[in-house]
Amino acid sequence: MAESLTLPKQVIRKRVDSMCVFTAILILSAPLAAQRHPAIDPTKVIDLSYPFDNSTLYWPASPPFAWNKDTWGKDAQGKWYASATFTTSEHGGTHIDSPIHFAEGQPGTADIAVRQLIGTAAVIDVTTQASRNPDYLLTTADLERLESRHGRLTSGDIVLIRTGWGKRWPDAKSYLGTAKRGDTAGLRFPGISEPAARQLAARRVKGVGIDTASIDYGRSKDFLAHRVLNGAGIYALENIANLDRLPETGATLIALPVKIAGGSGGPVRIIAILP
C-alpha cells in the first residue's frame, strides 16, 4: 500500500486494469461454492445497454430490428419449445463500431482482443454544453478538465462521453433529430471534434463511447472522429444507456459484442462495475 502512494497515476491505473481482468478470470474459474459469494457485488453492476425490440433506434438509412417467432408454444405432447429469428444491422441500438468500420485494414469485430473490451471507465460530462447546443462537439479542453482532476488518460481507459442524450431514448425525433426513414440530413445530436479525437488517439485509449447515435455529431458529412479513432485501431461504443449512473472514474467497463468474423460492428452488451 505504501508503494502505491508513490507511484504515478498512470502506473496505478494499469495495475487496477490488470487486477480487473484477473478478477474476472478468477470468478469464471472459481468452484461453485466460491461463486455463491461472488467477488463482484451485484448491487454495483450497471447495465449500459438498451434492449433490442421494435422501438430500437437505428440510423435512418438502416433496416430496423426484426424478431420473429419460428416455433413458440407447446407441442402435441404438451411440452414447451421456443425458437425465434432476428435480423439486424451491425450499427443500431447499443453497438460497437469496430476499427474496420472507417479504416481499411483495421480489426473487425471478432478480431478485437477481449482484454481491449475491459477497462477503466473515464466519463467526460458535457451535458450542460449539449443542452445549450445540440451540435456540441467534445473539445480538447473538456478532456483536459477531466485529466486535471484525475490524471492523464492512459491505454487502460475506455473514455465515455456523457451528453445527456440518453434521457431522449427511444423518441427518434428527440434523440436523432428526425423520425423520417432515410432522412440522414435531419440528424442532430452532439459528438466528438476532430482535435479531441486526435488527442484521444494520442492517449492510446482502449475505446471511446457515447450516449448518442454516433461519435460524430449528427450533421457530420466527413465523419472525422470515426476516421481518426478507427484509423488508430480504437473502437467506438454508441447508444450507451445509463451513463448518468457512472462516476467520472473508478468504474470497470466490460463491453462484449457479438463475435462477428470480419464484422464492421455488432450489438454489444455493456456493463459497468462501480467502485
Query: What are 140-161's pLDDT values in tens digits?
Result: 999 999 999 999 999 999 999 9
Average pLDDT estimate for 135-143: 98
Residue 40 banded pLDDT, cuts 50, 70, 90: confident
Query: What does the block give as the cell for 258?
Result: 457479438
Query: What does the block give as the cell for 162?
Result: 456523457
% of the chain surpassing 70 pLDDT: 86
- Give the tens place of pLDDT for each residue, 187-237: 999 999 999 999 999 999 999 999 999 999 999 999 999 999 999 999 999
Residue 10 banded pLDDT, cuts 50, 70, 90: low
Which pLDDT score, from 0 to 100, does residue 259 have?
A: 97
Average pLDDT estimate for 53-60: 96
Residue 50 in 3-state DSSP? coil
Residues 6+ apart with CB under 8 A from 118: 17, 20, 21, 24, 252, 253, 254, 255
Residue 266 in 3-state DSSP? strand
Give residue 63's Cα distance to chain centre.
21
Which pLDDT score, from 0 to 100, does residue 39 have?
A: 79
Q: Is the pLDDT of residue 30 over 70?
A: no
d(CA 88, CA 247): 32
CB atoms within 10 A of CB 119: 25
d(CA 255, CA 237): 8
Q: Which residue has the cell 453492476?
A: 45
Average pLDDT estimate for 41-69: 96
Which pLDDT score, from 0 to 100, does residue 13 have?
A: 57
Which pLDDT score, from 0 to 100, does residue 23 have?
A: 55
Higher pLDDT, 63 or 32: 63
Selection from 216, 230, 214, 204 nearest residue 99 by Cα? 230
Q: Is the pLDDT of residue 26 over 70?
A: no
d(CA 199, CA 180): 35
Q: Is the pLDDT of residue 264 over 80?
A: yes
Average model confidence (pLDDT) across the chain: 91
Is residue 210 a contact partner of residue 163, using CB atoms and an 8 Å limit?
yes
pTM of the model: 0.87
Residue-range domains of the chain with CATH:
43-63+84-273 (3.50.30.50)
Selection from 109, 107, 106, 105 nearest residue 96 by Cα? 109
Which pLDDT score, from 0 to 100, does residue 170 have?
A: 97
Amino acid at 59: W
DSSP state of 197: H
